[in-house]
């Protein structure tokens, strides 16, 4: 398990100190895929670098199975950090980087590397400096996963990948987490990228962790309803439900309500709508509903 304990980090390189993280505390279960959401400048990359043991926080610590990660070479053997900007040896090819990784990563798997090479179909003898941004991202994913880490830290890993490769990387991460027990932390400003892969999500805003929940728990008791009512139907008739959002276009009403599914369905049937259905919520809709209940304007937190 990863434990993030009361992390605070301030950058003092300018006249005005910038607090990047403010008393961040969280736990990440082994084998999970944890999504860290936040706008640019929210502190995501700083937190990942602290989790990777690259920088030391002002206060607090990150531990892996109880062992602090900073200046702990043994713990770092279990961690791979995929930066938003990839770093490779000058003039190197993927094969040359593979050989380098094998000297510093005791768990590097040649078998896994060959499997990923066949999936991504990159020219492993070509200089990486000639690759596009998306190809460099693929190369870093190949090398990172072939290292067989226990913990994979991904900073905007999907950025720059085309839709087909993006889904391919998601599938590989999901398989490694399910079958290999790898724990994956994905930092992104794009909420839509996270909803089909993460089982836990957290929102980081101006260095503060505002929200951390398992997706199944978030979806529990939250329902999106579309219904067609008679022309004189009023929103006041829904007052006995806990309505989080409401929109009406002519006779079509769309709302999000909190409560038991059966109770909401029974309530709607009693109102004799022409038609109604309960729809799955997107992760964005869930976040908007949850954060508005806490008094935040979600659009100002992420976009």
- Give the CATH number of the domain where residue 240 resides: 3.30.70
Domain that holds residue 236: 221-302
What's the confidence (pLDDT) of residue 84?
87
Q: Given 202, 217, 232, which residue is the final one in a domain? A: 217
Q: Tens digits of per-residue pLDDT, 181-193? A: 899 999 988 888 8
Q: Tens digits of per-residue pLDDT, 221-235? A: 888 999 998 767 777
Based on the fold, state whether residues 134 and 274 are members of the same structural domain. no
By CB atoms closer than 10 A (0-12, 13-18, 19+), residue 161 is buried
Q: Given 217, 246, 262, which residue is the final one in a domain? A: 217
Full-model pTM: 0.83
How sure is the predictor about 303, in pLDDT bands with cuts at 50, 70 and 90? low
Query: Within 10 A of 240 (CB to CB), how many other CB atoms are there?
Result: 9
What's the confidence (pLDDT) of residue 42?
85
Judged by average pLDDT, the poorest of 17-21, 92-96, 118-122, 163-167 is: 17-21
Q: Which residues, other chains included, contact 176 with Cβ-Cβ below 8 Å and sequence gap of 6+?
A: 145, 152, 182, 184
Based on the fold, state whether residues 168 and 228 are members of the same structural domain. no
Q: Tens digits of per-residue pLDDT, 264-294? A: 999 889 888 889 999 888 887 877 777 777 6
Judged by average pLDDT, the poorest of 39-43, 70-74, 160-164 is: 39-43
Based on the fold, state whether residues 183 and 290 are members of the same structural domain. no
What's the confidence (pLDDT) of residue 161?
87
249 to 229, 244, 255, 269: CA distances (angstroms): 11, 17, 12, 20
CB 97 within 8 A of CB 139: yes
């Amino acid at each position: 398990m990863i434990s993030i304990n009361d992390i605070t980090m301030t950058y003092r390189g300018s006249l005005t100190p910038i607090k990047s993280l403010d008393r961040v505390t969280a736990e990440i279960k082994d084998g999970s895929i944890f999504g860290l959401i936040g706008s640019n400048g929210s502190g995501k990359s700083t937190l990942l670098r602290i989790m990777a043991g690259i920088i030391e926080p002002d206060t607090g610590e990150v531990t892996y199975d109880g062992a602090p990660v900073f200046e702990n070479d043994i713990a770092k053997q279990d961690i791979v950090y995929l930066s938003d900007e990839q770093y490779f040896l000058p003039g190197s090819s993927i094969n040359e980087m593979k050989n380098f990784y094998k000297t510093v990563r005791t768990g590097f798997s040649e078998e896994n590397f060959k499997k990923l090479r066949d999936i991504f179909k990159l020219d492993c003898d070509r200089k990486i400096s000639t690759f596009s941004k998306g190809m460099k991202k693929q190369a870093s994913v190949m090398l990172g996963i072939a290292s067989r880490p226990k913990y994979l830290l991904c900073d905007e890993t999907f950025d720059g990948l085309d839709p087909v490769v993006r889904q391919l990387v998601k599938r590989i991460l999901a398989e490694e987490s399910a079958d290999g027990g790898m724990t994956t932390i994905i930092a992104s400003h794009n909420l839509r990228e996270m909803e089909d892969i993460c089982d836990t999500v957290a929102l980081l805003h101006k260095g503060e962790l505002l929200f951390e929940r398992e997706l199944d728990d978030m979806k529990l008791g939250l329902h999106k309803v579309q219904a067609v009512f008679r022309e004189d139907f009023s929103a006041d008739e829904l007052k006995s439900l806990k309505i989080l959002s409401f929109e009406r276009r002519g006779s079509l009403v769309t709302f999000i309500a909190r409560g038991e599914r059966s109770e909401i369905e029974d309530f709607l049937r009693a109102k004799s709508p022409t038609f109604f259905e309960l729809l799955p919520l997107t992760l964005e809709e869930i976040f908007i509903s949850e954060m508005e209940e806490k008094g935040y304007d979600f659009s100002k937190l992420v976009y």
